[in-house]
Homo-oligomer: A and B are copies of this chain.
Amino acid sequence: MPEFLTLLLPDQARDKLLAALSPLTADPEPIASDSALGRVAAEDILAPHPLPEFPRATVDGYAVRAQDTFGASDSLPAYLHLIGEVPMGEPPSFDIGPGQCALIHTGGMIPKGADAVVMLEYTQQTSELSKDFGSLNDEIEIFKPVADGENIIRIGEDVAKGQIVIPKGATLRPAEIGGLMALGITSLRVARLAKVGLISTGDEVIEPGQRPQPGQVRDVNTYTLGALIEKSGGVAIRYGIFGDQFEALKEAAAKALSECDVVVITAGSSASARDMTAEVIRQLGGPGVLVHGINTRPGKPTILGVCDGKAVIGLPGNPVSALVNGYLFVVPVIEKLLGALPRPKPTVQAKLTVNLPSQAGREDWWAVRLIGDRQYPSGTMSSIVNYLAEPIFGKSNLIFTLAAGDGLLKIHPDATGLSAGEIVEVMLI
């Protein structure tokens, strides 16, 4: 049987891993709302009071009793006596009686007696107004009738008391933070950051600050994955670089497992180093290795395991493979642990510049550069595709293949490649 029929596809492999994990619900972290950008709400946020808390004008104009305007027109205006101006930030000191109106600004509190607001543009002053209004000559012409409730927002019409305004699992963006402030919720509980232990292996791998001797290369994966983890709601904890010595690696992995929520081991290049990672996962705790090898390129040697309820992931040593599979597997694990509700992945539509081959049955990911208008999106289909997607071909899949790319292009396993000119979706990285 060909190998691609025995290996799981990335989606299947990820599902299998995520099904074995539970969110970190134990110890949510209290945090000031204005420091909570990017964090995940650990509780449903309920409105402690309605919004608005008082009936408000939604336009600039005159607060009126709607029935006083019925039948008003350009040729036969209604005449209302102007009795005052609603101050911003405090309740008006007057009520609106029959035949009366008051100047009001957007957001102003509707005076008692009034039940609608006539927009300024449908009104006219009949004469110079007195300084504080209220004199008998302060008269306003109304040229258009308003219905009861028109241009008013009632108490609780935006948000009712007790309504869930931010669900548990929501990632807090600027809008959510503003919403919390609107309700006076200046702190909340968020999921604590997921701790991800990072281990590099390989006799050839050295710290980035060191000068490589012939045959040596610097550790890249700890830092690409560390940044990805930080960006995704985790905190990366580095356990260092281990040569191809099984016991030392196993000991480091056991320490990382006891101190972290997830352990990621990037394998050395040699086949024996890769096998070592699988064996470490087997010995760390049950159930051990769930997926060994995934039907994707790059990333076939990826290993997904669970030891004592925690994800342990073995990624290939190649920097591009490690980072692409970090996006595919490590980020979703963090999101699951945080209890984050699913969110759309940022993408861009583009027209492929060249033919890209792929093996049917396997999912391929290519780093691509996007060329074209990088500004704001347009609203109609004809102008949606503002980019060309140009694959970046690199002989050794050095990390600069990804650094030169704007995103990753996926070739679906059902496809036998993509043709030049095809419209593709690029996941921004």
A71 at the interface (CB under 8 A from B): no
Taking CB atoms and an 8 Å cut-off, the chain A residues in 387-419 that contact chain B are: 387, 394-396, 398-400, 402-403, 405-407, 409-412, 415, 418
Q: Which residues of B contact A323 (CB under 8 A)?
A: 174-175, 178
**Which residue of A106, A209, A406 has the most chain B CB atoms within 10 A of its CB atom?**
A106
**Which residue of A106, A218, A344 has the most chain B CB atoms within 10 A of its CB atom?**
A344
Q: Is the CB of A204 within 8 A of B384?
A: no
- Distance to closest chain B CB from A344 (angstroms): 5
Additional A-B contact list (7), CB under 8 Å, known A60-B270, A174-B224, A174-B227: A37-B230, A88-B270, A89-B243, A175-B403, A182-B208, A344-B407, A346-B346
- Chain A interface residue number, banded: 35 or more
Kindly report how many copies of this chain are found in the complex they form together. 2
- Distance to closest chain B CB from A393 (angstroms): 12
Q: Is the CB of A186 within 8 A of B203?
A: no
Q: Is the CB of B344 within 8 A of A174?
A: no
A179 at the interface (CB under 8 A from B): yes
Instruction: Give Cα A249 to B213, complex, Å.
Output: 63
Taking CB atoms and an 8 Å cut-off, the chain A residues in 16-52 that contact chain B are: 33-34, 37-38, 51-52
Q: Is the CB of B219 within 8 A of A181?
A: yes
Q: Is the CB of B343 within 8 A of A158?
A: no
A298 at the interface (CB under 8 A from B): no
Question: What are 19 sample pairs from A and B whose C-beta atoms fall under 8 A apart?
Answer: A37-B227, A60-B271, A87-B215, A88-B203, A89-B215, A105-B269, A107-B270, A173-B403, A173-B429, A174-B326, A175-B402, A178-B220, A178-B319, A182-B218, A186-B208, A186-B209, A342-B375, A347-B377, A379-B418
Q: Is the CB of B87 within 8 A of A203?
A: yes
Instruction: Give Cα A3 to B429, complex, Å.
Output: 41
A348 at the interface (CB under 8 A from B): yes
Q: Which residues of B contact A209 (CB under 8 A)?
A: 184, 186
Q: Is the CB of B379 within 8 A of A202?
A: no
Q: Which residues of B contact A211 (CB under 8 A)?
A: 184
Q: Is the CB of A175 within 8 A of B224?
A: yes
Instruction: Give Cα A326 to B159, complex, Å.
Output: 24
Instruction: Give Cα A211 to B48, complex, Å.
Output: 12
Q: Is the CB of A412 within 8 A of B175?
A: no
Q: Mark A260-298, 1 if CB is under 8 A from B, else 0.
A: 000000001111010000000000000000000000000
Q: Is the CB of B105 within 8 A of A380?
A: no
Which segment of A62-70, A122-130, A420-428 sits at the interface? A420-428
Instruction: Give Cα A90 to B218, complex, Å.
Output: 13
Residue of B346, B378, B409 touching A412 (CB-CB under 8 A): B378
**Which residue of A165, A179, A427 has the most chain B CB atoms within 10 A of its CB atom?**
A179
Residue of B213, B380, B425 touching A415 (CB-CB under 8 A): B380
Taking CB atoms and an 8 Å cut-off, the chain A residues in 168-225 that contact chain B are: 173-184, 186, 202-206, 208-221, 223-225
Q: Is the CB of A412 within 8 A of B379?
A: yes
Instruction: Give Cα A179 to B379, complex, Å.
Output: 36
A54 at the interface (CB under 8 A from B): yes
Q: Is the CB of B53 within 8 A of A214?
A: yes
Instruction: Give Cα A358 to B171, complex, Å.
Output: 31
Q: Is the CB of A395 within 8 A of B89?
A: no
Q: Which residues of B contact A58 (CB under 8 A)?
A: 395-396
Q: Is the CB of A173 within 8 A of B227?
A: yes
